[in-house]
Amino acid sequence: MSYYWEDIDLGFTETFGPIAVDREEVLAFARRYDPQPFHLDEQAAAQTHFGRLAASGWHTCAMMMGAMVEHWQATPGWQESSLGAMGIDELRWRHPVFPGDTLRGTSELIEKIGSRSRPEMGIVKWRTRLLNQHDGEVLSLVSTVMRKRRPAAQG
């Protein structure tokens, strides 16, 4: 199967994961990129609305991206037609993510736009949701991504 812009229809849905949330990774990410007490210290986190050590929302985004790319790379034809992302809209951290959680995701194609200035590419919008092991939504976003269009010779 190929995954050119023309090949994927509205409603097309991909799933990815599982993503195991590792305590040491939560701490390492927080130390480097989001050194807030509730991401670094169990006692400090216990005094917050989280009630315990929580992963950074940015770490949650990074874990999601890693799992998505792993899935794409395991799907023949997917990466070959990918041209990268233009941005993210509507990013929401819906529920805290904790060490020991297991996450999984879905991405649904919600919009397709043909590029007017670059006829060799099309633009797609995906609604991505990340759920924990209790089916609680922990993250949602809409991404705008560029994809190759089918070469003219392939009709």
Classified as helix, coil or strand, 84 is: strand
Domain containing residue 133: CATH number: 3.10.129.10
- Average confidence (pLDDT) over 73-90: 94
pLDDT at 154 over 70: no
Tell me the average pLDDT across 22-48: 97
Please choose, from the candidates 58, 32, 27, the residue with its C-alpha nearest in 3D space to the C-alpha of residue 44: 27
Domain housing 22:
5-154
User: Domains in the chain: how many in total?
Assistant: 1
**Residue 135 DSSP symbol:** S
DSSP 105-129: EEEEEEEEEE-SS-TTEEEEEEEEE
pLDDT score of 97 more than 80: yes
| Backbone phi, psi, residue 25, to 5° | -70, -40
Q: Would the pTM count as exceeding 0.85?
A: yes
In this prediction, residue 34 has a pLDDT band, given cuts at 50, 70 and 90, of: very high
Per-residue pLDDT at 18 exceeds 60: yes
* Mean pLDDT computed over 20-24: 98
Check whether 5 has a pLDDT greater than 90: yes
Q: What are phi and psi of 83, to 5 degrees?
A: -120, 10
What would the two tokens of residue 73 be?
Answer: 């790379």
DSSP string, 11-55: T-EEEEEEEE--HHHHHHHHHHH---HHHH-HHHHHTSTT-S---
